[in-house]
Amino acid sequence: MPKKMRDKVKDLLQQEEEQSGVLVKGWVRTRRDSKGGFSFIEINDGSCLAGIQVVADHKLESYASASPHLHTGSCVAIKGNLVVSPAKGQKWELQASEISVYGSADAEKYPLQKKQHSFEFLREIAHLRPRTNTFGAVMRVRNRLAYSIHKFFQDRGFVYLHTPIITTSDCEGAGEMFQVTTLDLSKPPVNDGKIDYGHDFFGERTGLTVSGQLEGEIYALALSDIYTFGPTFRAENSNTSRHLAEFWMVEPEMAFYELEDDMDLAEEFVKFLFRDVLENCQEDMEFFNKRINKTILETLRNVVDHEFERIHYSDAIHLLEKSSEKFIYSVEWGCNLQSEHERYLSEKVFKKPVIIYNYPEEIKPFYMKLNEDHETVRAMDVLLPNLGEIIGGSQREDDLDVLHKRMREKELDPEEYWWYLDLRRYGSAPHSGFGLGFERLVQFVTGMENIRDVIPFPRTPKHAKF
């Protein structure tokens, strides 16, 4: 048994019997004094959404010195007995025998006095927002999802692979890499009018990874089934409620999987995660259902209980073209689907998750496997209602000549990717994978509107302070 430092509020609230000699440590949420000579102090320690009600008799020896510091936000330690509460709405309360204050919080200045604050305001106090109900609940659900991602893959024998954060390859080819350099930007070494990266730390131009996929493929073609789960960076100037410059991505990569197997795994994965949260985060999920999005529980149960729709990109275009909906971006075969199109399909047409696959070759990266029609690639996107894309994946091109040709068409230098091509030279195999945006997952599950409110410290254009 690990050493017991204190009693967690979560454990106390789940007790079956009264208990003496309890020690609770946490932050004061509210304090109320009764005329009868008692104070009622609600303590939250983040172990669960609910706090524990402490009843402090004003005659307690430690009360006089503690009382001036018992404000919302103060940090305290309370010894006492856990007893059945006579008050309505709570099973237990803690009868204090001793109160000590770790750190007081000025009642005039503590920013979290009011019950309700806007999420915009809370983003400006990212160092205090974890003490609110919403952020506590978001972070506990986020934690559970991270755990259950590992559980899903570990139970299936996948190997957790750590891919590099600093890299020379722009996997998605979208030119959204943040540069990493130790060159003096005020006077960089120049050769022939161009910056000479030979003098840079790594001797060549490097950046922060946009995806661990290419390195993931290397290991899948040796260990068969792997997954990555780590920070990912994109310098895309998208100021939307679904984009971050730094986000976490889960990327499984499987040898011997074709696109259909990839879609099956993606669907099973999403359902597993939703089911796990419904079963193991009940208190927090009920909070979201009450306070954030009144249909979130129903939505998650619906996703778990129904098959995802799967349609070809061409059929999706057809549905969009014949719809009477007014879109901002017009639709024709070959276009990138915008989020309004994706949402229309999943929310209005199918009313459930949709997997769109077989996208035009021209709008997708070099590594995706070319179909026999030579016009489309074996790509798939999983779209969720009210969110849009949560997963992007594909079967990878495993034919050396076709890959070579596609790289040249996309103006990539095959020499730079010699190692990637080697995988097709030596023991090539069909393989597939996908990437799931972890924050989009947390966003969907909690019903939170803005992706900035489901990551502890969001990085977005013009914002990296804390």
Binding site for ligand 4AD (CB under 6 A): 171-172, 211, 213, 234, 236, 243-244, 247, 249, 251, 389-394, 433-435, 437, 439-440
- Residue 379 Cβ vs Mg ion, minimum distance, rounded to whole Å: 9
Please name the amino acid found at residue 272. F
Residue number, 80 or 212, with CB nearest to ligand 4AD? 212
Residue number, 392 or 447, with CB nearest to ligand 4AD? 392
- Residue 389 Cβ vs Mg ion, minimum distance, rounded to whole Å: 6
Phi then psi for 335, rounded to 5 degrees? -85, 155
Integer-rounded Cα radius of gyration of the chain? 27
DSSP conformational letter for 90: -
Residue number, 105 or 244, with CB nearest to ligand 4AD? 244
Sign of the C-alpha dihedral computed for residues 117, 118, 119 and 124 taken in this order: negative
Residue in the shown chain whose Cβ atom is closest to Mg ion? 392
Q: How many CB atoms lie within 10 A of CB 399?
A: 13
- Residue 46 Cβ vs Mg ion, minimum distance, rounded to whole Å: 34
Ramachandran area for residue 153 (φ above 0: left; ψ -120 to 50: alpha; else beta):
alpha
Which range of residues in 26-34, 85-93, 143-151, 392-400 is near Mg ion by CB under 5 A? 392-400
Residue number, 7 or 253, with CB nearest to ligand 4AD? 253
d(CA 386, CA 310): 18
Which range of residues in 99-107, 148-156, 211-219, 386-394 is near Mg ion by CB under 5 A? 386-394
d(CA 356, CA 376): 12
- Residue 392 Cβ vs Mg ion, minimum distance, rounded to whole Å: 3
User: 286: buried, middle or exposed (CB in 10 Å: 19+, 13-18, 0-12)?
Assistant: middle
Residue number, 135 or 269, with CB nearest to Mg ion? 269
Residue number, 27 or 247, with CB nearest to ligand 4AD? 247
- Residue 230 Cβ vs Mg ion, minimum distance, rounded to whole Å: 18
The count of chain residues that interact with Mg ion, using the rule CB under 5 A, is 1
User: 7: buried, middle or exposed (CB in 10 Å: 19+, 13-18, 0-12)?
Assistant: buried
Determine if 433 is a binding residue for Mg ion (CB under 5 A): no
Residue number, 39 or 395, with CB nearest to ligand 4AD? 395
Determine if 73 is a binding residue for Mg ion (CB under 5 A): no
The string of DSSP letters for 208-242 reads E-S-SHHHHHHHHHHHSEEEEEEEEE------STT
Strand-pairing partners, residue 248, are: 231
Local structure of 452: helix, strand or coil: helix
The string of DSSP letters for 306-344 reads SPPEEEEHHHHHHHHHH-----SS---TTPPPPHHHHHI
- Partner that binds at residue 249, options Mg ion, ligand 4AD, none, CB closer than 5 to 8 Å by kind: ligand 4AD
Which range of residues in 143-151, 233-241, 272-280, 389-397 is near Mg ion by CB under 5 A? 389-397
Determine if 392 is a binding residue for Mg ion (CB under 5 A): yes
Residue number, 71 or 243, with CB nearest to ligand 4AD? 243
Which range of residues in 96-104, 212-220, 259-267, 387-395 is near Mg ion by CB under 5 A? 387-395
Residue closest to 203 by CA, chosen among 225, 181, 221: 181
- Residue 420 Cβ vs ligand 4AD, minimum distance, rounded to whole Å: 13
Binding site for Mg ion (CB under 5 A): 392
